[in-house]
Structure 1
C-alpha cells in the first residue's frame, strides 16, 4: 500500500479538485525525486476506481517502463503501448504509451478509444504552441487533438520538474495553470533528497577552450545549439592532456562515492574521457545509442556494475538512477532548466533494497570543470546555484552572513539560502539585493517581473527599451483606439497614431499594438490586465464592471468605459513588436 508523502498528498488533492472544476490543461511542477510516477499512479487509482480510462504518455521508453512498474506496484493493472519496449497492448483501461508509438497508431489502434484523462510525463517536451494550432504538426499536438475530438471533456495534466524553456515558463495558451510546485529546495529540507556538495577545478584543471563559449542568460535562454556544441567538442578535444589530468582528479575525488554521471561536449569527447577510466567501468549514452544498449548501460548504473556513465545532454530528465552520487560537468551548459535537472539526477536518496544491501549516500558531489555554475549563478536567482557560488567563494572567505538567520552566503547571493518554516516557500525571507514592490513593500529578486506577494507588475518584459529615458518629444498623439479579439483568444488593443512611418519606401499610418490576456491564469498576465484597467478606466464602478467580464467579447462590448489615451510612447523591439511604456490621458476633474 503506497502512502503519499505530505507534499504528494497536496499535489494529488489539488489535481483532483482541478479536474472536477475545469478541463483546462494544467501542470504539476515536481522536481526530480518528488515522485512523479507515484503522483501519476495515485491519479490513475482515483480515476479507475470511478470506472474511468487513463492514457499516460512520455517521450522515452524507460519513462513508460518506470511509470508502469510503479502503477503495478500500487496494485493497478496497466497495458503498455511502446515499440521500444516491444509491447503494444490496450487491454486494460490504463495505457502507458510512448509518444511516437501512440502517435503513429491514432488512425488504427486508437481510432475510437476514448480516455477520460491524459497524463503526460516530462510535459515540457510538449510543444505548447503547436497544441493550440488548428492543424498541429508535432506528435504530441496531433495526439492531444485526436483524443480531444473523441472526448471534448478530457482532462490533461502534465508533470515536469522544469516547466519552462530557458527561463520562460511554459504556462500559457495551452497549459493554463500550474497547480502546485514541489521544489528541490523543499525536498532537501525535508530529507527526501540528499544535499549537494559543490567542487570546482582549479586553474590547472580547466579547459581553456571553453572560455569562448559563455552563457547568454536572459529570458528564453536555452542550451548551446548543435553547431555550438560541435565547436565546443572540437575545442576541448584539442586539450587531450588536460582531459587526462582532469579525469585523474575525478577518479580520485569520486573513489569512495557511488555512481558518477559525466556530461561531455561531444561523442568524441566522451570517447576521450572513457579512455581515462578503468576498463569495463563506463558506458556512453548519446542520441545515437540504441535503445537496447541504453537500457543495458542504465541497468548497469542501477545495480552498480557500471560506475561511470558519460553523456552529452540526453540524460538530464526522466532517468531514475538512485546510485548516481556524483555529477561531473566537463562542458559549458547554457540552459537553467538543464543544469538544475542535471544536478537533480544525483540528489535522489537510495531505495530501501539498496540501503539493505549496505550502500550509503548521505550527500551528492557536483564537480564543475567548466564555468557553468559560476556563470549561471551570476545570471539567475536559484538556491542550488547560490549554494554552488557560495562553495566557490568559501576558500577565499568572500562570504556574508544573513542578518536574519545567520546562514553563510556568497557575497553575490541575491536571497539567503537559509531555511525558514514560517516562509511560504520554506526559505529565509532576507534579500541581499532586491526590487521592492511599490504596492505592498515586499522584497523580490532584482529580475522578478511580478511581486511574489501581491502580484503587482515590477519589471516590464521589454525593460531594455522601457528603461531608456523618455522626454515629451517621445510621446505620439493617438487618433483612435480599437479593441478586437485575436484568433488565439487574446485582447488586441491597437492605437492608431497621428504619425506616419515608412515601410518598404511606402508611408503609412503608425499603429502600436498591445496584447493582453485577461483570463490567462498566471501572475504576470493577471497583473498586466489589472494595470491596464487602472490606467484606462477612471470610475471605480466601471473598473469593477470591466474586471467582472468573463470573455473578451464582454470586454469589447464595454469598451465605451475604456478611455483612449491622448498620447503614448511607442518603440519597436528587435522582434518587431510594439513596446508601449507610457500613456497620457486627458481626464476631466470630477
Structure 2
C-alpha cells in the first residue's frame, strides 16, 4: 500500500515531533485517511524491533476498523485485541477499547508499551483516557504518546495541553476539497426574520443557550420558510438537519412529513435499537431528511447526504465543521448505485457561518510539495508548539490577533485552486489520445483510469483477470482522487512508476503486436504509454459497460 504524498508528509512530521517532544497531536479532518496515517506512524516506530504499541479507540467499530487498516499498511506485523470479549497483549501492536482497558484489573495486567496511539484524541483528557495514559507512563516513562483527531477543540473548552505539548501537522479541510477527497460546500446563509434575535442569545459554558434558540427557531412560520428554501435549493437531496432541542427536532420532522417529505428524528434519549433502525431507513433511502439534536456531529457518515441544514448556531467552529462535514464525503458508486454527488448544499438558518466565516483560513492550495518539518510557532496562552499557519491553537483554543474570519464572508466564498493530482500522484498518468478525456495509470498489480463522457467524469479501477470497478463519477478531481487511491491501495512503493527509468524506454515488440499498426511508426511512444494503451484496449468493453451502466442517460444518447 502507498500513502498519498500529503499523508507521507504528515507521517514524517509526526515521527519527527515524537522524537523531539515525546508526544504530539496530529489534526486530520474527515477524508484524510487518519487511520492509514496512525497505522504508518505506529508501523514505522515499531518496525522490526521488540517494541510494543497500543492503539486506543472508544468504540468497537473503530477498533475493528483500525486493526484492519493497520494490517493493510503493515502486513508483516502481528496484532492483538483488548475488548469486552478478548484480553490479548501478544501482538506487536494491540488495539484496545478504552472502556475495557481503563478498568483497574485490566490496567494492572497491562504490559509496558513503547508507543500509545490515541484515535479521536480530543477525548484524551477524559478520566478514562487519563488513567490509561498515566499507567503507560508509569510503566515506561519514555513511552511516546501520539494522538490524531479531526476536532481538537472540545465543547467543554478543556484544552489538550495536559497530554500534548505540540501539534506536529494540521491538514486543512479545504485542501481535501481541492484534492477531490471531499466535495465542496455550497453555502446559503438565510435570514428568516430571526437573525437579530439569534444575535442576542447568551452563551453558556458549553455553547449557546439552546433553550433560548428553541424559543426563537421552534415556530411554525420559521419552519415553513425552512422547508420552502430547502425545496428550492436542495430539491430531492438526502439531508441531515441539526436542531436546538428535541421538541424543535420533532416539530421540524413533523413539518417535513406533513409536506410529503419522509423525515425522522434521532436524539440522545432514543434507545439504541430505534436509533439504529431510523438511520438504517435513512441509509436505505426510505427517509429523505434525518433531523437530530447533537447526535450526528461525530462518528456518523452517510456519503449520499448532500444537504446540511443548520437550525441552530454554534459558538465553536469545530462543532460547525463537524456538522457541515457530515455532507462532504464523496460517494462510492458501487455502494450507492446511481447517486452522483459533486457538492453539498449547506442551508444556514442559525448564523454559524456568519459567526465563524469560512471553514478555515491560511490554507495552502497551490499544490506545492512540502518537505521536512512544518514551520512552527509557540502559543502565548499554553506554550504549545503548533504549525505556523494555524490561526486557532488546537490545544487551548487561543486565537491569534488578526486571524479571525471576516464575519461577512460565508463558506461559499473561500477560493480554492485545484491541487493537480496528476503531479502529486506516485504514478505516471497517460493522456491516451491527447484530448484530456481519457487518462490511465498502470501498476504491477492494478490499473486505473478517468474518462470523460457526456459532461461527466468517471473513475474506474481494475486488476488483471478480475472485474473492473466503478470508483467515482462526477467531477474530475473526485474521480482522479478515487482512481489514484485505488492504485495506492493495490500497489507498493516498489511498484510506483513515476520515477522508474524504464517508463521512457521504447515499447517492446510484444506490446506493439497488440497495438494498431499506426503505433509502430510512432517513435515517440514509450514503453509505459504503450502499457497504458494496452490496459485500456484490453478493458475497453468493461470500461464502457461500467460507464453506460452507471448513466442510463449516456447509454440512450450513445445508442
For the 8 Å contact 1:171–1:178, the answer to whether it is kept is no
Correspondent of 2:255 among 257, 276, 299 = 276
Displacement of 1:309: 2.6
Separation (CA, whole Å) in 2 of partners of 1:291 and 1:78: 30
Displacement of 1:158: 0.7
CA distance 1:107–1:114, shift in 2 (3 Å): same
Instruction: Show structure 2 runs of 5+ residues with no match.
Output: 389-559
For the 8 Å contact 2:63–2:97, the answer to whether it is kept is yes
For the 8 Å contact 1:25–1:156, the answer to whether it is kept is yes
Q: Please list the CA deviations of residues 306-325 of structure 1 after superposition, one character each: whole Å capped at 9, or x if unmatched.
A: 43232222332333332222
Q: Does 1:376 align with 2:359?
A: no
Instruction: Mark the structure with the bigger radius of gyration.
Output: 1
- Residue 226 of structure 2 aligns to a residue whose secondary structure is helix
Q: Does 1:245 align with 2:234?
A: no
Separation (CA, whole Å) in 1 of partners of 2:281 and 2:47: 35
Q: Does 1:344 align with 2:332?
A: no
Q: Does 1:37 align with 2:35?
A: yes
Q: Does 1:108 align with 2:88?
A: no
Q: Does 1:162 align with 2:160?
A: no
Correspondent of 2:133 among 144, 148, 161 = 144
Separation (CA, whole Å) in 2 of partners of 1:293 and 1:302: 14
Q: Which residue of 1 aligns with 2:526?
A: none
Q: Which residue of 1 aligns with 2:22?
A: 24
Q: Does 1:232 align with 2:220?
A: no
For the 8 Å contact 2:376–2:385, the answer to whether it is kept is no
Displacement of 1:201: 2.6
Displacement of 1:358: 2.8
Q: Which residue of 1 aligns with 2:57?
A: 58
Displacement of 1:126: 2.2
Correspondent of 1:315 among 280, 296, 311 = 296
Q: Does 1:126 align with 2:124?
A: yes
TM-score by length of 2: 0.59
For the 8 Å contact 2:36–2:70, the answer to whether it is kept is yes
Displacement of 1:361: 1.0
CA distance 1:9–1:51, shift in 2 (3 Å): same
- Residue 8 of structure 1 aligns to a residue whose secondary structure is helix
Q: Which residue of 2 aligns with 1:213?
A: 201
Displacement of 1:81: 4.3
For the 8 Å contact 1:24–1:176, the answer to whether it is kept is no
Within 5 A, what are the aligned runs for 1:303-452?
303-351=284-332, 353-354=334-335, 357-377=337-357, 383-384=358-359, 419-421=365-367
CA distance 1:77–1:316, shift in 2 (3 Å): farther
Q: Which residue of 1 aligns with 2:266?
A: 285
CA distance 1:202–1:310, shift in 2 (3 Å): same
CA distance 1:22–1:172, shift in 2 (3 Å): same
CA distance 1:523–1:35, shift in 2 (3 Å): closer
Displacement of 1:53: 3.3
CA distance 1:302–1:177, shift in 2 (3 Å): farther
Correspondent of 1:267 among 217, 226, 246 = 246
Q: Which residue of 2 aligns with 1:176?
A: 165
Separation (CA, whole Å) in 2 of partners of 1:101 and 1:57: 10
CA distance 1:145–1:233, shift in 2 (3 Å): same
CA distance 1:229–1:362, shift in 2 (3 Å): same
CA distance 1:98–1:231, shift in 2 (3 Å): farther
For the 8 Å contact 2:192–2:222, the answer to whether it is kept is no
TM-score by length of 1: 0.56
Separation (CA, whole Å) in 1 of partners of 2:285 and 2:81: 27
For the 8 Å contact 2:53–2:94, the answer to whether it is kept is yes
Separation (CA, whole Å) in 1 of partners of 2:47 and 2:195: 54
- Residue 274 of structure 1 aligns to a residue whose secondary structure is helix
Instruction: Show structure 1 runs of 5+ residues with no match.
Output: 131-137, 378-382, 387-414, 426-451, 462-515, 525-590
For the 8 Å contact 1:298–1:321, the answer to whether it is kept is no
Separation (CA, whole Å) in 2 of partners of 1:455 and 1:17: 16
Separation (CA, whole Å) in 2 of partners of 1:304 and 1:78: 38
Separation (CA, whole Å) in 2 of partners of 1:224 and 1:294: 25
Q: Please list the CA deviations of residues 294-313 of structure 1 after superposition, one character each: whole Å capped at 9, or x if unmatched.
A: 44444555554543232222
Displacement of 1:161: 1.8
Q: Which residue of 1 aligns with 2:182?
A: 193
CA distance 1:189–1:149, shift in 2 (3 Å): same
- Residue 319 of structure 1 aligns to a residue whose secondary structure is coil
Displacement of 1:92: 5.5
Separation (CA, whole Å) in 2 of partners of 1:316 and 1:140: 21
Greater mean deviation of Cα atoms: 165-174 or 265-274: 165-174
CA distance 1:385–1:24, shift in 2 (3 Å): closer
Displacement of 1:180: 1.1
CA distance 1:248–1:166, shift in 2 (3 Å): same
- Residue 40 of structure 2 aligns to a residue whose secondary structure is helix
